[in-house]
Amino acid sequence: MSGTEWISVSETGSGKFSNKITTSSGHSMIADEPKELGGEDSGPNPYDFLLAALGSCKSMTMRMYANHKGFNLDHVEVTLTHRKIHAKDCEKCETEKGMVDIIDTDITIEGDLTDEQRERIFAIAEKCPVHRTIMNEVVINSKLTV
């Protein structure tokens, strides 16, 4: 693999869908599907990981910004949900056919903050790198290795 950071995902052989995720930094996790989809529910599903990546990036970005500005931010919580809707039912979407993924985020910002500081911290969440990646054009290069 090129680059210095990588993620490896490999079937565990335990259950139909269970996968071990290993990172170049030495962390490991299990991903699986819920029982109602034929999995063993031994770990979060892929969409859980997607929402976790987005939510943690937003939280960390808000924390970094507040620390940099010296704001009295005590606690941030980001709650995310994912759903699919028909494109024709989406008022804000450019896509007109098929399904559209909707991710809703509810952000709680606690601390001794002015309304302006709270709004600035909230606004910076939209600028987190994972949010930008999801919203921008993404190219995924795949190759078969033997």
**Which pLDDT does position 80 carry in this prediction?**
98
pLDDT digits (tens, 9 = 90+) for 3-26: 689 999 999 999 999 999 999 999
CATH for 46-135, options being 3.40.50.10190, 3.40.50.1100, 3.90.79.10, 3.30.300.20: 3.30.300.20
How far apart CA 93 and CA 87 sit, in angstroms, is: 7
pLDDT digits (tens, 9 = 90+) for 34-74: 999 999 999 999 999 999 999 999 999 999 999 999 999 99
Q: What angle do CA 42, 54, 145 make, to 5 degrees?
A: 65
How far apart CA 64 and CA 73 sit, in angstroms, is: 10
**Which pLDDT does position 35 carry in this prediction?**
97
Neighbours of 122 (CB within 10 A): 14
Q: What is the bridge-based pairing of β-strands 19-23 and 99-112? A: unpaired
CA 102 to chain centre: 13
**Which pLDDT does position 93 carry in this prediction?**
84
Q: What are 118-127's contacts with CB under 8 Å, separation 24+?
A: 120/65, 120/69, 121/62, 121/65, 121/66, 121/71, 121/73, 121/76, 122/62, 124/61, 124/62, 124/65, 125/58, 125/61, 125/62, 125/78, 127/61
**Which pLDDT does position 3 carry in this prediction?**
62
pLDDT digits (tens, 9 = 90+) for 91-134: 888 888 899 999 999 999 999 999 999 999 999 999 999 999 99
User: Could you tell me the residue ranges of all domains in the chain?
Assistant: 7-37, 46-135
pLDDT digits (tens, 9 = 90+) for 132-144: 999 999 999 999 9
How far apart CA 73 and CA 61 sit, in angstroms, is: 12
**Which pLDDT does position 95 carry in this prediction?**
85
Three-class DSSP category at 48: helix
